[in-house]
Structure 1
Amino acid sequence: MTDFFAPCPRGLETVLFNDLVEMGGQNVRATEGGVHFSGDWALCYRVNLENRVASRVLWRVKEGWYRTEQDIYKAVFDLQWQRWFNVTHTIRVNTTAIRCALKSLEFITLLVKDAVCDRFRAHCDERPSVDTLTPDVRIHVFLEDEKLMLYLDTSGDPLFKRGVRQNTNIAPIRENLAAGILRLSGWTPGTPLLDPMCGSGTFLIEAVQMSLNIQPGIARSFAFEKLLNFDKPVWQAMKQAAIAAQVPPKPLEIYGSDMYGDAMKTAWRNLSDAGLSDCVELNQANILEISAPAEHGIMVANLPYGERMGELDELAELYPKLGDTLKRKFGGWTAYLFTADKAILKLMRLSPSKRTPLFNGAIECRLLEYKIVSGSNRPAK
């Protein structure tokens, strides 16, 4: 049994917790910003391949205590790094700390790198090179009070990089956050879905992949493939089974629109590059002018930032009009609006039935649920 930690966007810990329990994880425990779990290496491969919410999967190789920089150096040097990767692999060290009494995280990062290199020198009289951009191996150091945890990254590039969306617009939403919002909305494949501010198409692509059983990691590689304990036959069998389980592309009740032509072109290119353009109906339209594409369904929208729509007063003008549009045209639908702007709560003229705190990186946001009752805005007699 091996110990892992999967970070995720803050606010999605419960979604990830339930995923890992369902996937067979042991000792599953949620904490702020991620979930601890235990399992075999096949589970690690599977979480990297299949999970839509996790940001990474980190393998915990050391847990202990420290008081000085020398304690950290010794803890790192004592590990048999040469058992896990070769001296020819490039490395990068990332350090994160909470309530750490030591003065410089930069110095700790340098110290850990030196300790790893010194261990290799003691073993084979050579040292690995550092590559801060595209390393073969990422080493994560986490300090909390006087507790030290060391991890090897099994993912490589963060898991929101699916290898699918190559083109982006201003302020795109990350894929794992978009997938988490879809999960929180209760949307399931087969239910009509509309993103009226689709931008580069992130919600649309995630929904299509879920509908066609396309695993999020099927088009990319992972850092665990470079580790010395990599079980290639197990991984190849897992990938082949995932590919065999995919459903061929077909038209789906998934709809996207945006008022900007450039955004529509970007969304279409991303869908087309992924071979999914036939699955989604795209239209260039203002959110205030569209109609519901079905009698009922789920609307999701990453509401615009100031630089995209203009100044904040323009957004303030948009919100009441958006509320009116939902009441007039989307009876029977449930809308999920993702925003960092608290002004919407007063200006929409609709009361959200649920407010879920979520973080887009460091930005605190809310996912607002609006259940639109049919005929809730009857014309006056």
Structure 2
Amino acid sequence: MTMYKLIATAAMGLEAIVAKEVQQLGYKTTVENGKIMYEGDEEAIVRSNMWLRTADRVKIVMGEFNVYSFDQLFEQTKALPWDSLLPVDAAFPVSGKSIKSQLYSVPDCQAIVKKAIVEKLKYSYKRNSFLDESGPTYKIEVAIRNDVATLTIDTSGAGLHKRGYRVGQGEAPLKETMAAALVQLTNWRPDRPFHDPFCGSGTIAIEAALIGQNIAPGFNRDFISEEWPIIKKDLWEKVRQEAESAANYDQPLEIYATDIDHKMVEIAKENAIEAGLGELIQFKQMQVKDFTAAHDYGVIVGNPPYGERIGEEEAVETMYREMGEAFEQFPTWSKYIITSHPSFENLYGKPATKKRKLFNGFIRTDYYQYWGTRPPRKDS
């Protein structure tokens, strides 16, 4: 097994959660804005893709160096050991970005990196003619920031938020990775009730069920690195079997998902069935003001409308007031609401116990946390 320098990319504000997940897999981490760095072998690549709930992608770092000219970019790229990963028939599209750097033309940077890798592979594989690129795909990125170039290869393919269960969605769906993070930021445990009163396409409730039964988020999808010769097929099989063994399908769950829109409730049901969780989540059309609960000490996680569209603000503000009044009747429940509305606490009727800044896509939001009363301690 070869050791690789790996990066798990993360949405702004989720770095600590992704780092914790990587650490739980057994790897030591270093955290920077938007990325968690660690070292691991081929099994680390497979396990990271299979198990990271809140990361966006897992990438291999091929090299990092200062760069001030196109000649430097070409020579230092060519010097990297591309032949250790890429076979002679590898397809390797190159994407790029450049921020605050002398080499600011992204198309030129991409073309130079591509040419340098071609030259390296032709030399390594003793080819005089062109490379046909008919084999497995290796998505390469050249990212230049403050004159430092980082060259990476994506091991995930489609972003890790694509779990494979979304057959339908609404206008502004919450990413599965963000939904998983919202659940992980609560005090919910699988033996307590869970309710999403703005379920939309069901993402938060489905992610809670996956967490509750310890089902690997990547279990029902494919990854681009499954086609790579350096990662043996039986390693993927082994990690999938381990994930199957780790799942606790017998864990009973009490998860409710409601929404004012009956069409979204039907879409959410379909998505839950696709995820294999159709029997575990109870769906219902309901307004948040009608919230009720039969049990104590539950957890609410909600992603309500933010009121950012013209004409929506008044209705949203009324709904926030009604939400506060409805939830106040259940003091043992903990409530967690994500919104970008600047006056949420005033409208809801009380200040949050705690709030955390998160980015839902490109929207800056706050995650308002209202902690319920603690259950009485059982006599030991």
Give the alignment's TM-score, normalised by structure 2.
Answer: 0.90
Worse-matched range after superposition: 92-101 or 207-216: 92-101
What are the equivalent positions in structure 2 for 1:160-239 lying under 5 Å apart? 160-239=161-240
* Cα-to-partner distance string for 1:168-223 (whole Å, 9 max, x where unaligned): 11211111111111111122222211000001111111111122221001111112
Query: What is the rounded CA distance, in whole Å, between the counterparts of 2:92 and 2:294 in structure 1?
Result: 50
The match for 2:253 is: 252
The match for 1:367 is: 367
Contact 2:98–2:104, Cα closer than 8 Å, also in 1: no
1:130–1:94 distance in 2 versus 1, CA, 3 Å: farther
Query: What is the rounded CA distance, in whole Å, between the counterparts of 2:372 and 2:19 in structure 1?
Result: 30
Corresponding residue SS for 2:328: helix
Corresponding residue SS for 2:241: helix
What are the equivalent positions in structure 2 for 1:74-223 lying under 5 Å apart? 74-122=75-123, 123=125, 124=127, 125-128=129-132, 136-223=137-224
Corresponding residue SS for 1:288: helix
Corresponding residue SS for 1:369: strand
Q: Match of 1:74, as an amino acid? A: E
- Identical pairs, percent: 29
Query: What is the rounded CA distance, in whole Å, between the counterparts of 1:276 and 1:309 in structure 2?
Result: 36
Q: Match of 1:30, as an amino acid? A: V
Corresponding residue SS for 1:91: coil
Query: What is the rounded CA distance, in whole Å, between the counterparts of 2:360 and 2:70 in structure 1?
Result: 33
Q: Match of 1:5, as an amino acid? A: I
Q: Match of 1:9, as an amino acid? A: A
The match for 2:13 is: 11
Query: What is the rounded CA distance, in whole Å, between the counterparts of 1:79 and 1:227 in structure 2?
Result: 19
Contact 2:357–2:364, Cα closer than 8 Å, also in 1: yes
The match for 2:344 is: 344
Corresponding residue SS for 2:164: coil
Contact 1:326–1:372, Cα closer than 8 Å, also in 2: no
Tell me the number of residue pairs that the alignment of Structure 1 and Structure 2 aligns.
369
Corresponding residue SS for 1:9: coil
Contact 1:92–1:130, Cα closer than 8 Å, also in 2: no
* Cα-to-partner distance string for 1:3-60 (whole Å, 9 max, x where unaligned): 111111111111122222222213x111111211112221221111011011111111
The match for 2:33 is: 32
* Cα-to-partner distance string for 1:217-250 (whole Å, 9 max, x where unaligned): 1111112222231132222111112123323367
1:305–1:94 distance in 2 versus 1, CA, 3 Å: farther
Match of 1:20 among 22, 37, 40: 22
CA shift, 1:260, in A, is 0.2
What are the equivalent positions in structure 2 for 1:284-295 lying under 5 Å apart? 284-295=285-296
CA shift, 1:255, in A, is 0.6
Worse-matched range after superposition: 310-319 or 55-64: 310-319
CA shift, 1:372, in A, is 4.7
Corresponding residue SS for 1:58: strand
Query: What is the rounded CA distance, in whole Å, between the counterparts of 1:12 and 1:119 in structure 2?
Result: 37
Worse-matched range after superposition: 190-199 or 312-321: 312-321
CA shift, 1:270, in A, is 0.5
CA shift, 1:291, in A, is 0.7
Give the alignment's TM-score, normalised by structure 1.
Answer: 0.90
Worse-matched range after superposition: 180-189 or 122-131: 122-131
Corresponding residue SS for 2:217: coil
Corresponding residue SS for 1:97: strand
CA shift, 1:263, in A, is 0.5
Q: Which aligned segments of 4 or more residues in structure 1 are displaced greater than 6 angstroms? A: none
Contact 1:91–1:130, Cα closer than 8 Å, also in 2: no
Query: What is the rounded CA distance, in whole Å, between the counterparts of 1:44 and 1:253 in structure 2?
Result: 34
The match for 1:377 is: none
1:302–1:142 distance in 2 versus 1, CA, 3 Å: same
Q: Match of 2:95, as an amino acid? A: N
Query: What is the rounded CA distance, in whole Å, between the counterparts of 2:186 and 2:259 in structure 1?
Result: 21
CA shift, 1:369, in A, is 0.4
Task: List gaps (5 residues or longer) in structure 1.
Answer: 375-381
The match for 1:378 is: none
Query: What is the rounded CA distance, in whole Å, between the counterparts of 1:237 and 1:172 in structure 2?
Result: 33
Query: What is the rounded CA distance, in whole Å, between the counterparts of 1:109 and 1:229 in structure 2?
Result: 25
Corresponding residue SS for 1:185: coil
1:128–1:305 distance in 2 versus 1, CA, 3 Å: farther
Worse-matched range after superposition: 94-103 or 292-301: 94-103
Contact 1:56–1:155, Cα closer than 8 Å, also in 2: yes
Contact 1:167–1:200, Cα closer than 8 Å, also in 2: yes
Contact 1:251–1:280, Cα closer than 8 Å, also in 2: no
Q: Match of 1:184, as an amino acid? A: L
